Amino acid sequence: MKTRTVGNITSLGIETISLIARLLKGNTLLPADDAFKIIRSRSHGHVDAILRAIRQLGLDQIISREFCRQRDLVLAMIVQRIIAPRSKLGTTREWNNTTLAEELNIDTKKEDADLLYAAMDWLLKRQSRIEQKLAQRYLSEDSMAWYDISSSYVEGECCPLSIQAYSGNTHDSTTVIDQVEQIRHQ
C-alpha cells in the first residue's frame, strides 16, 4: 500500500479545518445571508460613547447620586439632544431607533412626552444643588466666570455651570448684577 499526500491542510487554521471536517461528514453549510434574517438593527456606538463620557465626567452623579427613573429620563434627554435634537415627543419616538432606551432601562411603551416634562420639573427642583456641585468642581477663587446675555444659545469650550431663564420681558443687561450676586452667594 502506498500513500500520497495530495494536499496539506494543517496550515489553514483550526476554523477552516473544522469547516472541511463538517463538509466531509455531510453537513450543509449556508451563507450567512441565508442562515440569518435581520429583522431590526438599532444604532448603538454613539449612544455608548456619550453615556461613557457622561459617566466618566460624573454628570450622572451630579444630577443625582441615586438611581431613579427621573435621572434616567434626564440622561436620555441629554444623550438624545447630543445625537439628534428633537422635541420631547420626537425624543420618545427616536428611542426606538437606537439602544438608548434599553441602556437606561426606559420602557418605550410607557414613557411619553408628559413624563419627560415631569422629569424636567424634577430637574428644575435640583438646579441649585447641581449648580453648586459644578461650581465646587470647576470654580476656584482665581477662576473667571463668563456670562452670556444672548437670548438664543450658549456656546463655548466648557460646559455652563449655571443656566437661568428670565421672564420674556426682562432686558438682558439687567440680569448681569443678579447673576454676579448668585455666583458669589453660591
pLDDT value of position 38: 80
pLDDT value of position 121: 96
DSSP of the chain:
---------GGG-HHHHHHHHHHHTTPPP--HHHH-------B-HHHHHHHHHHHHHTHHHHH-SS--HHHHHHHHHHHHHHHS---HHHHHHHGGGBSHHHHTT--TTT--HHHHHHHHHHHHHTHHHHHHHHHHHH--TT--------SS----SS--S------TT--GGGGHHHHHHHHHH-
Q: Which three cell numbers stand for residue 160?
A: 455652563
pLDDT value of position 155: 58
pLDDT value of position 159: 62
Series of mean pLDDT values for 10-residue runs along the chain (186 residues): 80 89 88 79 94 97 95 96 91 90 90 91 95 88 75 59 72 78 78
pLDDT value of position 153: 55
pLDDT value of position 9: 84
The answer, as to whether pTM is greater than 0.85, is no
